[in-house]
Amino acid sequence: MKIAVCLKHVVTRDAAVRVDEARTWIRDRDASFELNEPDAYALEEALRLKEKQGGEVIAVSAGPARVTQALREALARGADRAIHVNGDALARADASVVGKSLAAALKDEGVDLVLTGLQSDDQGFAQVGVILAEALGLSHATIVMEVQVDGGRLRVRRELEGGWFQWVAMPLPALLTIQSGINQLRYATLKGIMAAKKKEIRVVEAPAGLTPLVEIRSLAIPPKQKQTRLIAGAAPEAARELVRALREDARVLEGA
C-alpha cells in the first residue's frame, strides 16, 4: 500500500511573531517553525497503516527550503522517502495554490491513499485536503477518527457535531483529512534520525501560473487591552447586573 502524507511547516505555537513590512504576512526570518500538529497525527496514522498493510509512506511538503526540516522529521519517524514541492511563495499561498501544487507532485506517484491533517495551525482553513482530493480525482472524507482497510476499500469513522460519529465506506484510492487525537504520536529514535540522513528527498518545482482564490490584504496582531467596569448598587441588584453582563456582554455564561 502506497500512502502519501502531506505536511506543513508552521510557526511554533508560542512564538512571538511580527507582521512584515507589507502587512500581509509575518516576518518569517524572525520566527521559529515546527511540524503542523494535525499533520503529525496524519503521519502517525500512515505509519500504523504501513505496519499493518505493508508498503511505503511518502512525506510531501510544499514551501521554501525550510520545510525540509519537517520532511526530515517525518523520515526520522519512519517515512520511506519525501517530496519537497519547492517555492518560496507557497509559505503564504492560499489553499487552492497549495492543494494544486501538491497534486502536481503526486499525480504520477500512483498512491493508494493520501492523508493530511484536518487543518493547519496557522491559517486553519481546512481546505487543502479537499482541494487536493478534487485535483487528483479521489474520493475523500474529512475529520477522520478511525481508519480500517479491507482489501480495496476503506471504512472510516468521521467526527460530527455534538459528540456524534459517522461510519463511511469508500473505495481506494482515496484521501482522508485526519483529526488530531486519532492516535498516540511516536517520536523519532536515534536510529531513525541517523537513517533519515540517507533517505531520499526529491525536489520538484511548484507549477507556474496558479491563480490564488484568496488574497490577504491586511494582517494585524490584535491589540492587548483590558477594561475595568464597576457595578454599583445594592448586592442583589449588582449580582443580577453582573450575571447579565457576563452572559450578554462578555458572553462567557450560557443559559437563562
Position 255 scores a pLDDT of 62
pLDDT in tens, 140-183: 999 999 999 988 899 999 999 888 999 999 999 999 999 999 99
CA dihedral 51, 52, 58, 63 (to 10 degrees): -90
For residue 103, give the C-alpha cell: 497534486
Residue 16 has pLDDT above 80, yes or no: no
**Could you tell me whether strands 33-35 and 153-159 are parallel, antiparallel, or unpaired per DSSP bridges?**
unpaired
Q: Where in the chain is the domain with CATH 3.40.50.620?
A: 2-205
CA dist 115 and 106 (Å) reads 12
Position 136 scores a pLDDT of 96
Domain 2-205 architecture: 3-Layer(aba) Sandwich (3.40)
pLDDT in tens, 211-256: 889 888 888 877 777 778 888 889 999 999 999 888 888 777 776 5
For residue 77, give the C-alpha cell: 519517524
CA dist 34 and 13 (Å) reads 9
Helix (H), strand (E) counts: the chain: 6, 11
